[in-house]
Chain A
């Protein structure tokens, strides 16, 4: 099986711009989670999508949004970029039963390195 893929791998933007990142999960996986990784803040949970619905959300401002398509591919969008948004954005996919009580392991993509100038 192919692993989780993310595009683009690197991105340079300026303050005030907006950006869209893409994540393709492992085939058959229905849950996609997004994380922001910075040296000072570690891995911070942004949101999780399951069956095209946002199921969970972290503590990020409304400038951060996402969506999931019927094929489970997910995008995240950051509007009005700030310098502090510079980070590695990781997505992770898992199988995740609709009503299951067991949490399934997550597989991470390679990340998108976003630099805001």
Chain B
């Protein structure tokens, strides 16, 4: 089955710096890669996603890049703010049309933004 590895497990940056979280996946059939932010005691919230027909997507201070050949995708947060502090999860999903529409999550990255 699909396996997703996420690095680093913890990341501490100074406010205003950039943060990068990287994930690799194993199943080349995966075609959907969402990123979730989970604040302490709250539910995971989708912050950005990318599909396999796109190499990069940006939404204000957040961007995601995808390298299908290397089976690698990354989350980039620029101009970090203390409210960006949370656990971030990447995920890889197979298309539901193949009867395999489930998400495999990385183990999470705890991001701390120091003021």
Residues of A close to B101: CB separation below 8 A: 31, 48, 50, 55-56, 96, 103
Q: B97 contacts which of A48, A90, A101, A109 (Cβ < 8 Å)?
A: A101
The residue in chain B whose Cβ has the minimal distance to the Cβ of A45 is B102
B93: CB under 8 A from chain A? yes
The reply to whether B34 and A105 form a contact with Cβ atoms under 8 Å apart is yes
Render B62-106 as a binary contact track against A, CB cut-off 8 A, 1 for contact. 000000000000000000000000000101011111011111111
Interface residues on A, range: 20 to 34
A99: CB under 8 A from chain B? yes
The reply to whether A42 and B89 form a contact with Cβ atoms under 8 Å apart is yes
Residues of A close to B105: CB separation below 8 A: 35, 42-45
Closest 6 CB pairs of A and B: A103-B32, A43-B105, A56-B102, A108-B43, A42-B107, A101-B97
